[in-house]
Amino acid sequence: MKIEKIVESPRRVAVLSAQEDAIDTLSSAMDLIIHIKMVAGADCVAIPKEAVDESFFDLSSQLAGEVVRKFANYQLRCAVWGDFSGCDKDFLQFMQRQNDGWTFFFTKTEAEAVLRLQS
């Protein structure tokens, strides 16, 4: 996985590149968590929507719920950023619930994702 940059202050945020699927299975999400925490030494990760497999945005696949739980269990904050206007109503409701929390949320831009992760 390609980390595009690391943003410091006050938390260390790894910003991923959109060039590859960072999350397409639960196993790939675990690989990402380990890489970000152990290799990059970051507390948080910002992921472009394009780096997340479409199955994540289909709640019937259960991938989104499982991934969110793993990030919470491993205490790694995550923001997925991009255009979510094409997502179905159920996923948009899921996004709203996640955005009320502290661990995993969704934003429109990379700058918003990094800002929220640093707060």
Amino acid 21: pLDDT:
80
* Cα 88 to Cα 59: distance, rounded to the nearest angstrom: 9
Could you list the residue range(s) of the whole structural domain that residue 68 is in? Answer: 3-118
Burial group, residue 2, by CB count within 10 angstroms (0-12, 13-18, 19+): exposed
Number of domains in the chain: 1
User: Quick check: helix, strand or coil at residue 65?
Assistant: helix
Predicted TM-score (pTM) of the model is 0.93
Amino acid 22: pLDDT:
83
Give mean pLDDT in consecutive 10-residue pieces for the chain, a chain of 119 residues.
81 89 93 94 95 96 97 97 96 97 96 94
CATH at 60 = 3.90.190
Helix (H) or strand (E) holding 14: strand 13-16
Amino acid 1: pLDDT:
64
